[in-house]
Chain A
Amino acid sequence: MTFFAPFTIPFIAGALFMFAAIFLKWLWWTVKLPKVDRRLILHNFFTRNTLVAVWEVVRESLLHIRIFRVNPLLGYMHMSLAFGWFLLIVVGWIETSVYLGWEMIPIQGHIFFKYFTQVNNIDAHSALLENLMDGLLLLVLSGVALAWFKRMASRAMGMRRATKHALYDRIALSALWFVFPARLVAESLTAAIYGGGGFLTGSLGSWLGGVVPTEMLALIYEPSWWFYSSVLGLFFVALPFSRYMHIFTEIPLIFLRRWQLRPTLERKSYDNFEVEACSRCGICIDPCQLQADLGIHDTQSVYYLRDRRYNMLSLKVANNCLMCGRCEAVCPVGINLTTLRINSRAMRRNIPHEGRYGYLTNIDRSSGVGKVGYFAGCMTSLLPAVQRSMMQIFNAVGEDVWYADKDGGVCCGRPLMLSGETDAARKMVAYNTDLFRRYEITTLVTSCPICLRSFRDNYRLDGIEVLHHSEYIERLITEGRLRVAAGAEVYSYHDPCELGRGLKIYDSPRRVIEAVGTLREAEHNRRDALCCGGSLANTVIDDGKQQRIARRMTAELEATGCDTIVTSCPLCQKSIARTATRPTLDIAEVIAQRIVS
């Protein structure tokens, strides 16, 4: 039996090139992994995590369950292409094996089986298998049709805006679109000339046999297989350099992630797996408020990752992000978009001038004595009412408190991290860690979610429990230490990005508010909450644009008909207060007003 025909050369060459390129990429990325990461892989390889990863590959790389949650039609499109194609390969392999036994057949023998059955005079007409294969082809074709439809009417697929692709991706995309229609044509022509075929290729074949003259059929038969093989080959050659590399990157990424590898504030080889796992589906575009409120269309995560992958990332794109995490929350691949963006901000010289931080030695402006430490943070210092309310609460429960920065302190470091100045940030981290250790506190309360995020994510404060003031107040109320009077006031609550999506603290502030009044939820809340626009992370947009972002968010809060807007972040409070027509209070102020002594 022969399994070679000249038309298979483009396919074979393309496939060989693709697998070689993918292998080299994987190898290079793995070799370059830092020691810590390689140790994590070895450590976690023979654990349950590996099995969990296998299951996740099935769910996410084949079935795309997370995209189904965004929009069922969009999920079906991705599933039909990925899972449908996968099944075509698997069932196709079974098909050849059924007829030819379990012997070694070259890969093109499987892929172009319909062609080689004629060449080798194999009688392969199982109605079950042929209909099954046609069914799968139809599944994939329906996905292709939806993909075309999505280009023209993305809104119907739950996306207001679809990704604008680079020329290179367009080539790969067009090749992919042609692969399955080309297969349909080639297999139908085969059926037209030689008979057979399932409900799809068979019917189309007999129809073609009726309308197209026999000489014509014979003339286009061979070229149709050439075309199918060529578009496959072209797609394979383009794949490692286009967005379709995500197919073969998401799989190792899922394993690496299950083995606890994570991106950090410094760039490292692991980032490649995250960056190239992006399929540029564009689901991240709609949630971006820079896009929705300001009409900025070049900075969303999909474009940021694309620019970073092709080494054309500008500092402006890297910096033009609120780091609100709304894109990260919906990313079906679960890429750590904010951390990646932070580490690509460190493109400038990242060595702080020593003299600039001279003030860090020998200063200590802390006061008070207690096991509970209170860190107001720079932003809270601009809202003395919040600090005062916290002191009222501490006094009401008789807590002995050590005030870390009542008379001025050192920044937690997160604003520096967000702007890529990680070395300078480390100086702040070291200073504050030392300060907390020296006063031997066991609990650290802060009223700033930005500080809280850095304490939890970037400090090593083992032995010190770090709490947001909403968590602390909730505990005081639950334990019965703080008594508050409920009233008729109606509140609406704004979830700060760093506290909500950043640290998953959604319930504590709500329980605290519900202890004193009625809470009404805004249209976007919890995981979907809008950003206030005042984020420290964006150094590109000006103040007027920040206010435009804030205005829509504030309007949603006011639309609840609340008497008072409540938030639990000093920065959010500043942003809201300047656009709101209703009083805006911090959660601590709300509680301090309602203390029953």
Chain B
Amino acid sequence: MAYRVVIVGGGAAGMQTALELKSRGIEPVIVERDIELGGKVRGWHKLFPTFVPASDVLFPLAQRVKAARVRCFYGQEVTDIASDGVTLRSGERIPADAVVMATGFTLFDAHRKQEYGYGLYDNVITSVDLERMMNGGGVTLADGTKPQRIAILHCVGSRDEKVGQRHCSKVCCITGVKQAIELREMFPDADIFNFYMDIRMFGPGYEELYREAQEKYNIHFVRGRISEAAETIDKRIQIKAEDTLTGRPLRMTIDMLVLLVGMSANYENEGIAQRAGLELAPNGYFKTVDNFLGAVSSNRRGIFYAGAVTGAKSLADTLAEASLTASAVDDYLKEVFNK
């Protein structure tokens, strides 16, 4: 009989882990809170830095999971985990030989930075809203007209002590560059600004895309965070910032403000960790044994991590890590049960 591993979360990390486990002859079971697989990548338009449609990654993954006949529970939330199984909110218990936490992250709630006016002003949107617009009817202002001046603000809910988010969310910088280029293609005549603290282009092809955005797509990069936004009578947005390269305060009226929202740890992590005896990092993400050889292992044997549940990660990193998790789970099962 095959060993059974419960994977909590059916996003990119969960699906990839399931497929890798299956190919190793282990039986994966996915428990997904939503009514379908896909996680946060669902609803995303195109992926950085190559502008590959998100669906080109997501659909093949979901297809393979289906073809592999992986057992999936939908609309079920896991409230407690242990190395020998998980408990659902309904009280039902799914026994297992090992458990993988692949519950990802929660998007930072932009309402918490009320000074930017999200939810108050019609034309302040988040990066996620922008992806949805691009996937759907197209990008317009609230009154249906085309934006002429657009500002993209980096680090909303990242590297911000005031909202208890000290960490860098890693993916927003390159997302800002990607979205600026996409906006440029939609609005060739618009002024597009990126307001940033510093630009972190760590991945392959990122730095090149950043240069291209400036040289080829004429996107302006202003070093300085926006301090406040206010709505004018004609529903435009007045922003205040400091251009820290010239050392001068700056005021500007724009049509649309896009907030690049960061990644927060899931609210539920704290309770789950406490009850299961798992360690959390100070920012609320699950803490791995170490950053090197134990990067997917928890402090409890038999419980493993995959993807952004342990910290902000790009989709590419998440997929790579999920394979590593499957390999670690395989090693663990062999060690514990095959002696």
Seen from chain A, the residues whose Cβ lies within 8 Å of a Cβ on chain B are 381-385, 388, 408, 542-544, 547, 574, 577-578
Contact = CB atoms under 8 A, between A and B. Distances in A.
Contacts of A578: 112, 163-164
B115 A384 contact: yes
A543 B164 contact: yes
Given A408-B240, A544-B282, A383 B115 contact: yes
A385 B114 contact: yes
Contacts of B161: 542-543
A112 B229 CA distance: 79
Interface residues on B, range: 10 to 19
Contacts of A381: 115, 228
Nearest to B238: A407
B112 A577 contact: yes
Contacts of A574: 162
A552 to B, nearest CB: 15
Contacts of B115: 381-384
Contacts of A408: 240
Contacts of A543: 161-162, 164
Contact of A382 (B114, B120, B121, B164): B114
Contacts of A383: 114-115
Nearest to A408: B240
Nearest to B267: A581
A367 B162 CA distance: 30
Nearest to B163: A578
B114 A544 contact: no
B230 interface: yes
A388 B229 CA distance: 13
Contacts of B112: 577-578
B117 interface: yes
Interface in B71-130: 112, 114-115, 117, 120-121
Contacts of A577: 112
Nearest to A570: B114
B282 A384 contact: no
Contacts of B121: 384
A527 to B, nearest CB: 29
A588 to B, nearest CB: 13
Contact of A384 (B117, B163, B164): B117
Contacts of A542: 161
A56 to B, nearest CB: 45
Contacts of B231: 384
Contacts of B282: 544
Given A543-B164, A547-B164, A578-B164, A384 B240 contact: no
Closest 4 CB pairs of A and B: A382-B115, A543-B161, A383-B114, A384-B117
B269 to A, nearest CB: 15
Nearest to A388: B120
A384 B162 contact: no
A544 B164 contact: yes
Given A382-B228, A383-B115, 16 more contacts: A381-B115, A381-B228, A382-B114, A384-B114, A384-B228, A384-B229, A384-B230, A384-B231, A408-B240, A543-B161, A543-B162, A544-B282, A547-B164, A577-B112, A578-B163, A578-B164
A313 to B, nearest CB: 28
Nearest to A387: B230
Nearest to B229: A384
A581 B183 CA distance: 36
Report which residue of A382, A384, A543, A544 has the largest number of chain B beta carbons within 10 angstroms of its beta carbon. Answer: A384
Nearest to A383: B114
18 contacts: A382-B114, A383-B115, A384-B114, A384-B115, A384-B117, A384-B120, A384-B121, A384-B229, A384-B230, A385-B114, A385-B120, A543-B161, A543-B162, A543-B164, A547-B164, A577-B112, A578-B112, A578-B163
Nearest to B166: A543
A404 to B, nearest CB: 15
A274 B163 CA distance: 39
Contacts of B230: 384
Interface in B160-178: 161-164
A388 B240 CA distance: 18
Contacts of B114: 382-385
Nearest to B121: A384
A384 B114 CA distance: 7
A544 B164 CA distance: 7
A197 B163 CA distance: 72
Nearest to B160: A543
A384 B163 CA distance: 17
Contacts of B162: 543, 574
Contacts of B120: 384-385, 388
A548 to B, nearest CB: 11
B248 to A, nearest CB: 12
Nearest to B113: A382
A542 B161 CA distance: 9
Nearest to A550: B164
A383 B117 CA distance: 8
A547 B120 CA distance: 26
A574 B112 CA distance: 8
Nearest to A581: B267
B72 to A, nearest CB: 30
A544 B240 CA distance: 28
Contacts of A544: 164, 282
Contacts of A388: 120
B156 to A, nearest CB: 14
A577 B120 CA distance: 16
A537 B188 CA distance: 49
A596 B163 CA distance: 35
B66 to A, nearest CB: 37
A388 B114 CA distance: 12
A574 B160 CA distance: 14
